[in-house]
Amino acid sequence: MSTQLNSAENRKVTTKRLKEMKEQKEKIAMITAYDYTMATLVDAAGVDVILVGDSASNVMQGNKTTLPVTTEEMIVYAKSVVRATKRAFVVVDMPFGSYQSNPYHAVDNAIKIMKETGADAVKLEGAQAIGEALRLIITAGIPVVGHLGLTPQSINQFGSYGVRAKEEAEAAQLIKDAHFLEETGCCALVLEKIPAGLATRITSELNIPTIGIGAGAGTDGQVLVLQDMLGMNTLFKPKFLRQYANLAEEIGNAVSHYVSDVKNVSFPSAEESY
Ligand code: KIV
């Protein structure tokens, strides 16, 4: 069943609309997608923001981390998503290595992503350390979504996917970083796996919308990885994940039914033949 939207809500989602949603306390629903078919379905179901996440490295490519996916590969995923999307705001993750080494390299890569995909924004992980890259990208007219807390591109430094900013010093730094991103001109901020109270405080202090994943109910919106919330990956069950379907079982049953129909020649039938 797709969500019924009124005419104002039916408009293409823009940076202006996201700000308006925060002001009007209307929650923002964000979800990942990496291909045309899934993007068509999630857009029609009323999702506000589609994130072409670098989680594509895990869920589409089978890598252990988000680090291996390249800019060229992200562009292929993003082009397919943009082709499918009528209403949602499409954000593309800048992958590891595409923005950290040199701010000019970063702005060139952001421009390449925007030019070749037709997406609405890019997302980068981090704050002060990538400040010059953020400034150049935003000055080029590209909307940027920030990402703080558990930033998976730094997994080798963190050493685990545990909750971030539980200690006071890290929490205080995270608050400073969030303000830095707003002052630099980011249009929204993803907060991943941090205590709910901290995410609520940041949300109340910022004018830009916050989107949480494992950050409690106090953020302006929520994001989940599509394959995880559809129950396609039975091995990944963190506490924050609500599973809305069990597609691993449904797909497994459908495909094994098909295999047995082929083996016992009950597919195709005369009606399914020319
Ligand atoms: O890549 C991704 O899917 C993300 C979300 C988890 C926020 O960055």
Ligand 1 centroid to Cα of residue 85, in Å, is: 19
CA distance 163 to 252: 33
Q: 125-184 pLDDT, tens per residue? A: 999 999 999 999 999 999 999 999 999 999 999 999 999 999 999 999 999 999 999 999
Q: Which residues pair with 248 in a beta bridge?
A: none
Considering only CA atoms, which residue is closest to atom 8 of ligand 1?
Answer: 53
Residue 3, pLDDT > 60, answer no
Q: How far is the CA of 50 from the centre of ligand 1 (A)?
A: 11
Rounded to whole angstroms, the Cα distance separating 164 from 155 reads 11
Whole-angstrom distance, CA of residue 267 vs CA of residue 253: 16
Indicate if ligand 1 lies below 6 Å from the C-beta of 213: yes
Residue 7: band (very low, low, confident or very high) from pLDDT cuts 50, 70, 90: low
DSSP letter string over 168-180? HHHHHHHHHHHHH
Percent over 70 (pLDDT), the chain: 97
Record the pTM.
0.96
In the predicted structure, residue 6 carries a pLDDT above the cut 90: no
Catalytic residue, chosen from 26, 183, 192, 272, is 192
Give 46-100 pLDDT, tens digit per residue: 999 999 999 999 999 999 999 999 999 999 999 999 999 999 999 999 999 999 9
**Helices marked H in 85-153:** 103-117, 131-139
- How confident is residue 10, by pLDDT bands cut at 50, 70 and 90? confident
Which pLDDT tens digit goes with each residue over 209-224? Answer: 999 999 999 999 999 9
206 - beta bridge partners?
A: none
The ligand 1 atom at the shortest distance from the C-alpha of residue 30 is 7
72 tagged catalytic: no
Give residue-wise pLDDT tens across range 231-269. Answer: 998 888 999 999 999 999 999 999 999 999 999 999 999
